[in-house]
């Protein structure tokens, strides 16, 4: 688990929800707190690049670990058609990527 507290300004916090096959984009504002469940692919960025952001992040464990993005994207229930559209390629290329990463097609 990761907890993010936004202390100053606004920050975008997109995350991928593989079970619902969608990407959720949150516009966090000053004082907001967001908890990322373990394994949720996410990132944060400052959409107002000329304005500084102060964010405090904390993990629920001393050994929080990491999430393999290729596994989180290509070894899920996300359909090959959606992956192909997302990466602007075709389904055959998605199959090659999955095989190259050692995932069963």
The pLDDT tens digits for 30-57 are 787 778 777 777 777 777 778 787 888 8
Q: Give the best-scoring range by mean pLDDT among 9-13, 26-30, 98-102.
A: 98-102
Confidence of residue 21 (pLDDT cuts 50, 70, 90): very low
Asked if residue 42 belongs to a known ligand binding site, the reply is yes
Phi/psi for 57 (5° steps) reads -115, 140
Tokens of 72: 């989180």
Reduced to 3 states (helix: H, G, I; strand: E, B; else coil), residue 76 is coil
Sign of CA dihedral 27, 2, 73, 53: positive
- Do the Cβ atoms of 55 and 44 come closer than 8 Å? yes
pTM score, two decimals? 0.52
| Position 14 confidence tier, pLDDT thresholds 50, 70, 90 | low
Share of the chain above pLDDT 70, in %: 75
In degrees and rounded to multiples of 5, residue 96 shows phi and psi of: -65, -40
């Amino acid at each position: 688990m990761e907890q993010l507290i936004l202390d100053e300004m606004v920050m975008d916090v997109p995350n991928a929800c593989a079970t619902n096959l969608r990407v959720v984009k949150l516009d966090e504002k000053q004082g907001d707190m967001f908890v990322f469940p373990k394994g949720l692919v996410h990132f944060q960025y400052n959409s107002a690049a000329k304005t500084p952001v102060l964010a405090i992040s904390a993990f629920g464990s001393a050994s929080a670990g990491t999430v393999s993005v290729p596994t989180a994207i290509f070894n899920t229930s996300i359909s090959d058609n959606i992956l192909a559209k997302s990466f602007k390629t075709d389904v055959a290329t998605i199959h090659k990527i999955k095989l190259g990463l050692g995932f069963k097609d």
